[in-house]
Amino acid sequence: FDKRYGRATPERPVFPRPEALLSEVPLLLGTDGQKMSKSRGNTIELRMSADETAKILKKAKTDAQRRITFDPVDRPEVSNLLMLASLATGDAPEVIAERIGDAGAGTLKALVTESLNEMLAPLRSRRAELIANEDYLLSILHAGNERANEQADQTLSEVRTAMQMNY
């Protein structure tokens, strides 16, 4: 567009190239050790209750070894649970594994459940408050629509100017 019609101003394109807002994040598997997918039912969703989260995590796949170790290559399912606990607590997965030691997968699952539910409790509470206040949600949507329309009108004006279609 800018090559064909020019720029809004010499230093500013009409349609600036978007920049990616990506950060490094760990790969988390679903609770069954497979790629996380809602259709597989192996996800932990923010909208789940604490009890639903506990039920899902009780079914999480582990292995037969009693000692808990962080080894993503040889023990991906156990390591995945350790990563979930790490994200929820802020402790390194290796530290959590060492703390659990020989206590086994049941202890690991209980820790993950408690940690995740504790971390998600404020989010779930806020979500419940917002759902209960439909008028507030509609006002936010309305304000967002107004801002989006203002931005769209400004962009269309710049496009018309660049295309010399100001009529």
Q: What is the DSSP string of 46-57?
A: TTS-HHHHHHHH
Query: Which pLDDT value is given to residue 113?
Result: 97
Query: Which pLDDT value is given to residue 7?
Result: 67
CATH of domain 24-121: 1.10.240.10
* 120 vs 167: CA distance, rounded Å: 53
Query: Which pLDDT value is given to residue 10?
Result: 64
Neighbouring residues of 34: CB distance < 8 A, sequence distance ≥ 6: 40, 42
Query: Which pLDDT value is given to residue 93?
Result: 96
Calculate the alpha carbon distances from 156 to 3, 15, 131, 159, 165 in Å: 17, 11, 35, 5, 10
Please state whether the predicted TM-score (pTM) of the whole model is above 0.85.
no
**Which 8-state DSSP code applies to residue 16?**
P
* 17 vs 57: CA distance, rounded Å: 42
Looking at the DSSP bridge assignments, the partners of residue 29 are 35
Both tokens assigned to 109:
């699952």
**Which 8-state DSSP code applies to residue 73?**
T
Query: Which pLDDT value is given to residue 46?
Result: 87
Which string of b and e fits 126-154 if b means at least 16 CB within 10 Å?
eeeeeeeeeeeeeeeeeeeeeeeeeeeee
For residue 85, give the nearest of 24, 26, 23, 22 by alpha carbon: 26
**Which 8-state DSSP code applies to residue 67?**
S
* 103 vs 121: CA distance, rounded Å: 26
Query: Which pLDDT value is given to residue 29?
Result: 80
* 111 vs 101: CA distance, rounded Å: 13
From first to last of its 167 residues, the chain has per-residue pLDDT tens of 777 777 656 677 878 888 888 877 777 788 877 877 888 888 888 889 999 999 999 999 899 999 999 999 999 999 999 999 999 999 999 999 999 999 999 999 999 999 999 999 999 999 999 999 999 999 999 999 999 999 999 989 888 888 888 87
* 95 vs 157: CA distance, rounded Å: 57
